Chain A
Amino acid sequence: MTPPLAELWVYLSTSPLLGLTLTLFAYQGAFWLYRRSGMNPLANPVLIAVTFLVALLTLTGTSYQTYFDGAQFVHFLLGPATVALAIPLYTQMRRVRAMLWPVAAGLLAGSLTAALSAIAIARLLGASLPTQLSLAPKSVTTPIAMGVAERIGGIPSLTAVLVITTGILGAVSARWVFDHLQVRDPAIRGFAIGVASHGIGTARAFQVSEQSGAFAALAMGLNGALTALLLPALVGWL
């Protein structure tokens, strides 16, 4: 006869409940730590939550698939959240119209830099082709990046990981970069972080100021759409 505790574990490890609950708790714990650190960018809540979950799953010998069976309910919300980006886009339309040229030029320059420099550096350092192609959409939000990676011959699940790492790197370094460049306009700071590091950068920008956040959301939406249109065509030429 199986001891009750093991029986309970068998039940929990096959039900989606555990993965879902763990994700929510890991994130809340990570967010609490982030707050306690005075919103220090190094204490990024996604980074902390992911590190904790990977350690826990590895220690308990749980497969990612089992975990994802539960966590997919959270993951699914990325789709509607992408659609919801239309709202900050709409709300900021007036401010955007006033900054049309800087926004258009910054978007095009930033979007091309993000994709081409990632491919070039990886190629230079001898990364395999699927890895290079998985890196190309790294600056756009996860659902778009995974879709683009699939189109151009990358590995969507690897892209998801690279996208999130990019988001964390951007969120951690942006303040330092902008201060050194003496870029003070919250609209420009927000837009640049949105182009470079999508939703994670946007989440960070919203915590700094409302205006930065709105411009980051705008940049994330525009860069997502532009990359989805440009990258499949660009990769054909490479």
Chain B
Amino acid sequence: MKRKKTHIDTILVLILLCVFSASVLMTLLLGTHIYSSMSDSSRLTYNERTCMSYIAEKFRHNDVKDSVYVGEFDGLNALFLDTEEKGVVYCDIIYCYDGWIWELYCERGLDFLRTDGTKVIEAKSVSFRDLGSGLFYVEATDLDGKTSKLNICLRSGG
């Protein structure tokens, strides 16, 4: 009879300890879940924001009449931003290839390949469209499949 009582005491204490440990574990898991979901959300927003800000700033820095146009570069949809320096026209080409947004700054008219550019930021795809009246539409898809859209209107009319 004494042994049974001892066993019941032990079992009760063990059960209480297990319940306590389980609640501690659940709280820890909840905390890590909140942290990891916030971290993911923060990363996604950062990628989207940085990508769109970079493209928007490129447009704004090159808002000169007849200098911004959409075309094809090495078979890829690309944005062309022309600048003239000392009588020579240079072209800043922005395109998406192999999971990255690339930028290539070269003299206009010279032949370059898509791999000659510099990787800027990760993205699954980017498309540029000239909607007319100086309005451009940019759609970018990040590596997680999330799409973000940008409208940008040039005051100089492009």
Answer whether A and B are interacting partners: no
